[in-house]
Structure 1
Amino acid sequence: MNQNATHPEPAPVLVIGAAGKTGRLVADLLERRGRPVRRASRSSATRFDWTERATWAPALAGAGAVYISYQPDLIVPEATDDIAELVRLADLAGVARTVLLAGRGEPEAHEAGRIVHAGRADSTVLSCAWFDQNFSEGGFAPEIAEGSLTLPVGEVGEPFVDTRDIAEVAVAALLDETRQGVNPHAGQTYELTGPRLLTFAGAVAEIGAARGQQVAFTAVGAQEYRELLAGFGVPRAEVDLLSSLFGTLFDGRNARVSGDVARILGRPPTDFGTYANAVFGQAVA
């Protein structure tokens, strides 16, 4: 045997949405594992825009696996058609693995997962609870910084999940193999949640405790919420999306905790309090 023979470098993992909350973490973890990564977004060297299908095939060319984060959300009407076309192009490109980031309780997300599982690649769907990081990096952050949060949701529990846990599970789904070279996550849909249920009011209270300054939570009706968003200049499309999400998902359908994070990672999921203390505790003067 030639002791100097070199193994070919594995095909890159295409990370769609590499500038997003989970995508950048997935890309960073893959690089720390020594895997070649192709970061794709509207502004990256590998350009990928969900509104411009001409950018999809060039991004997929030569990729061995793909992490799919859809924007703005799988609940929008065009999402399932877009996912179906992406899967078709991924099959043509010979992609071996696909991992789809999805929400829980959305019929559209369920259909997108079905489409991904119907492709030729080994597929995994990550059906996720609402992110912890929505309070610090997303649309809630500006109001939280002012000491309040106003939402059209009442006393419904949500098992908020940390994006770092999602990223670790995603990387496992992209890279894990058994001793026989089999992908143990192929065909699986995982529900990724935190370890406990927490209302939005409860989450805001824990953020206030972490930063040493009370954060007030106010529950409002759906129409009042729309009017508040419009008054702050939020674009109509975003108002419609947020109203649809809150109007659909907080009827109790997602008020349950899953053990999938612990089962896949071999450790408990990150608690919301740990996240709040790490992020908002630093803000104490």
Structure 2
Amino acid sequence: MDARDVAAVAGRVLAAPATHRDRAYDVTGPATLTYAEVAESLSAELGFQVRYTNPTLPRFVWRRLRAGDGLGFALVTAGIYTTARLGLAGRVSGDAERVLGRPPRSVETFAADYAGAFRDDQ
């Protein structure tokens, strides 16, 4: 899910607490995608290959630690990573669209909007 949509949902909820009182939202993007499908979409939109290496869970944690993440953060992200890898996050709720009054952004839109941030020549 595009972080801008997460922020927009949060903003709407915070701006109208009475409207959203006692409600819980399952905020998802517009489609369920595997990590490999995200890499394919990014590759197509950005014009260069983005690879998903499909690391094992220990390798994933090791890479996060090597990248400078603390152990707690690495373990939390490992839980999120595992949930998605097992297909347990494969659903679209429609809550973001109901709150925003528009569909959430796609991964292709995200890639197009931030293409410059992915280029080496910046």
TM-score tier, shorter chain, comes to 0.7 to 0.9
Tell me the equivalent position of 2:11: 171
Shift of 1:241: 2.7
**In the aligned structure 1, how far is the partner of 2:16 from the partner of 2:64?**
43
8 Å contact kept, 2:34–2:84:
no
Shift of 1:227: 3.3
Taking CA–CA contacts closer than 8 Å with sequence separation of 6 or more, which of the two structures ends up with the larger relative contact order?
2
Query: Quick one: percent identity of the two aligned structures?
Result: 31
TM-score (structure 1 length as normaliser): 0.37
Tell me the equivalent position of 1:278: 113
Shift of 1:190: 0.8
Tell me the equivalent position of 1:263: 98
Assess, with a 3 A threshold, how the Cα gap between structure 1 residues 260 and 236 changes in structure 2: closer, same or farther: closer
**In the aligned structure 1, how far is the partner of 2:14 from the partner of 2:66?**
43
SS at match of 2:25: strand
Residue 162 of structure 1 aligns with an amino acid whose one-letter code is D
8 Å contact kept, 2:61–2:74:
yes
**In the aligned structure 2, how far is the partner of 1:227 from the partner of 1:167?**
30
Does 2:53 match 1:218? yes
TM-score (structure 2 length as normaliser): 0.79
**In the aligned structure 2, how far is the partner of 1:170 from the partner of 1:233?**
29
8 Å contact kept, 2:42–2:107:
no
Please provide the CA RMSD for this pair: 2.5
SS at match of 2:92: coil
Per-residue CA deviation, residues 166-186 of structure 1 (Å, 9 max, x unaligned), is: 222222212237xxxxx1210
Assess, with a 3 A threshold, how the Cα gap between structure 1 residues 281 and 211 changes in structure 2: closer, same or farther: farther
* Matched ranges for 1:52-63 at <5 A: none
Assess, with a 3 A threshold, how the Cα gap between structure 1 residues 253 and 227 changes in structure 2: closer, same or farther: closer
More helix by share: 2
Shift of 1:284: 8.2
* Matched ranges for 1:37-76 at <5 A: none
Per-residue CA deviation, residues 230-259 of structure 1 (Å, 9 max, x unaligned), is: 444543333333323323454222211011
Tell me the equivalent position of 1:238: 73
Contiguous gaps of at least 5 residues in structure 1: 1-160, 178-182
* Matched ranges for 1:7-22 at <5 A: none
Contiguous gaps of at least 5 residues in structure 2: none
Larger Rg: 1
Residue 205 of structure 1 aligns with an amino acid whose one-letter code is E
Aligned residues: 120
**In the aligned structure 1, how far is the partner of 2:36 from the partner of 2:87?**
16
More strand by share: 1
